Chain A
Amino acid sequence: MSSSLEKNMLILRSSDGEEFIVPEVVAVMSKAIKNMVEDECASNTIPVPNVDANILAMVIEFCKKHDESEAEAASDLKTFDSEFVNRGQEALYDLITAANFRDVKELLDALCQNVAEMIKGKSVHHIRIQFLGYQLFEILTSNFIWNIWCDRDFD
């Protein structure tokens, strides 16, 4: 780690103004930031809009781990990944959006694979609610109406 501290550091500023000091090697795991660095339009502080401090900290944690353990055993990384992606839906979605926006491939892969594993056995209704913005009450009511229709007296 001492060698990486000596390397160039970058400052990332999240949407709510918090700043993170990150080694360049870690920051450039995001393709978007890498392009900025290569084009030399990143002077010292790189704004990361749309990503708040909480999520940015998680992304940085992931990138750091992956940078450190590049040469290490892959199984360690796997357990770290599986623990990392084990979060609530809200955080997961925010992370996916951030990873997609900043173009962090490994993170996006791990997250999306996790979501896919979660939903692969779900019902069609579940998918509609989860991704297409159908509301839960719609489905409940559609069943409810159907039940009333079936139960009603025809007179």
Chain B
Amino acid sequence: MDVKQSKDMKNIRTNTDVDEEEEGEEELSSSSYLPLDLVFSEIFTRLPVKSLFRFKLVSKSMLYLTRNDPSFFNLHLSRSKTRLAATTLLISVFCGGKWREILSAELDGGGRRRRGRVTRLFTMPKVDHTHYRTLSYDVNGLLCLSSDPLFNICPKFKVLNFHLYNYSAIAYDFPGIAYRVFTLGGSSWRTIHPSFPFEEICDWFIKSGRSVCLNGAIHWFVKAKNAIVAFDLKDENFFVIPAPNCVVMPESKSESESESQSESESEAVLVQVNGVLAVIHYKRDGSNKTMEMWVLEDYQRHAWINHVITIDLSSNNYKYFSPIGSIPTGEILLVPFTSWALAWGVRIPVIYYDMKNKSCRIIEFAQLPQCVPWGYIDVRGMTTYSESLIFPTMDDQ
């Protein structure tokens, strides 16, 4: 016992000795340790957010890193955008016509299997009898949920975050629209007066679908004008990017049918593909197997490049899909239309289209969590989500 205790005393001494030195300084001499800056910038930036939050306790510098180091946040974000494991598919499900659940699914489907698992993230809070309908695209790990389709909310590209908001068009039939901006981390809405590029404003906000936030601007595709309207978050003003002259996809049948019908069924969405804007034209009814994709390769000079997506599925069950953007592997995700998800019950098929090989595969997301009632689900929006450390109340600097 005596020996043990004396040993113990020795250890206490060495222990305090080490503690007095700056932690992590002395290992540079040893060959089996990496330099700390390399560990932080190269290894910790590749960790999942969950691990990083656990490692907060490792040292004070780690705590600082995970709490308020924007450069670390940005590096981590840029790495998680290229990592498939850091990206999930978020599914907003309307359960039994009553409440809303946000589910998440692993994009790799857990290996090579064709079945993917879905887990529950959270139940949407219900505020003032409004259900949050729209699920925005993920911007730097932040999502927006809004109840009104007229809300076009989108956080800013970098640290500052703005909301663009438009409250009048249909409900009050105002001639103009009021725009308000909200900076995340701030406390109130600020009214702004940007000059608007088009006369008839009311329509396009509604018809344009989800906005895409990229290069510090929010973009909407205005089909009627065949243009992309963008809102620059720095200048707080609108500008227009001319869209490509899309030829409506070649289809032999359309001539025999009434033209107006085929017009209404052709759809165009604005998505983000590998970090650039892309407009994808397709037929809503899935009668045409090809989709036409235009990629904005040069943002400044408005240079569009055309690709053709051919989706040849052996099974006829899968017809009604709409693209939602690309994932870190470079594949484009296509998810079922909201209204059609019902027919397939509790399975949510997702198409992965590989642009290089021009091939596609399907992963069916089944095994929904317990919170989703059997048999009746209504999928109301899906988006890919890459995790990040950025949080909404973050300071600007």
| Chain A residues in the interface with B (C-beta under 8 A) | 89-90, 93-94, 96-97, 100, 108, 112-113, 115-116, 119-121, 123-124, 127-128, 131-135, 137-138, 141-142, 144-145, 148
Contacts and interface: CB of A to CB of B under 8 A. Distances in A.
B67 interface: no
Contacts of B83: 113
Contacts of B131: none
Interface in B3-51: 8, 11-12, 14-15, 18, 23-27, 30-36, 38-39, 42-44, 46-48, 50-51
Interface of B: 8, 11-12, 14-15, 18, 23-27, 30-36, 38-39, 42-44, 46-48, 50-51, 54-55, 57-59, 83
Contacts of A121: 51
A89 B8 contact: no
Contact of B46 (A90, A97, A100, A113): A113
Contacts of B34: 93, 96-97, 131
Contact of A145 (B12, B23, B46): B12
A108 B43 CA distance: 10
A134 B57 CA distance: 14
Given A133-B30, A138-B18, A148-B8, A124 B42 contact: no
B8 A141 contact: yes
A88 to B, nearest CB: 10
Given A127-B55, A142-B15, A100 B42 contact: yes
A119 B58 contact: no
Nearest to B32: A90
A100 B43 CA distance: 12
A36 to B, nearest CB: 22
Given A112-B42, A113-B46, A135-B18, A93 B32 contact: yes
A97 B47 contact: no
Nearest to A123: B54
A150 to B, nearest CB: 14
Nearest to B39: A131
Given A113-B83, A133-B26, A141-B12, 20 more contacts: A89-B32, A93-B34, A96-B34, A97-B38, A100-B38, A100-B42, A108-B42, A112-B46, A113-B46, A120-B51, A121-B51, A124-B58, A131-B27, A131-B33, A131-B34, A132-B23, A132-B58, A133-B33, A138-B18, A141-B8
Contacts of A128: 58-59
Nearest to A135: B18
Chain A facing B: main interface SS: helix
Nearest to B36: A131
Contacts of B39: 131
A115 B43 contact: yes
B25 to A, nearest CB: 8
Contacts of A133: 23-27, 30, 33
Contact of B24 (A100, A124, A131, A142): A131
Chain B facing A: main interface SS: helix
A100 B34 CA distance: 11
Contacts of B55: 124, 127
A55 to B, nearest CB: 11
Contacts of B36: 131-132
A124 B58 CA distance: 6
B54 A124 contact: yes
Contacts of B32: 89-90, 93
Contacts of B15: 138, 141-142
7 contacts: A96-B34, A96-B42, A112-B46, A116-B43, A116-B47, A133-B25, A141-B8
Listed from nearest, the 7 A-B pairs whose CB atoms lie closest are A133-B27, A116-B46, A132-B24, A141-B11, A120-B51, A112-B42, A124-B57
B38 to A, nearest CB: 6
B38 A96 contact: yes
Nearest to B11: A141
B259 to A, nearest CB: 44
B182 to A, nearest CB: 35
A147 B32 CA distance: 31
Contacts of A89: 32
Contacts of A120: 47-48, 50-51
Given A89-B32, A96-B42, A119 B51 contact: yes
Specify which of B23, B30, B33, B36 lies most central, judged by the most chain A CB atoms within 10 Å of its CB. Answer: B33
Contacts of B38: 96-97, 100
Given A96-B34, A124-B57, A131-B36, A137 B42 contact: no
A96 B48 CA distance: 20
A53 to B, nearest CB: 16
Contacts of B14: 137-138
A144 B15 CA distance: 12
Nearest to B83: A113
A14 to B, nearest CB: 16
Contacts of B33: 93, 131, 133
Given A133-B26, A133-B27, A119 B57 contact: no
A29 to B, nearest CB: 17
A113 B84 CA distance: 12
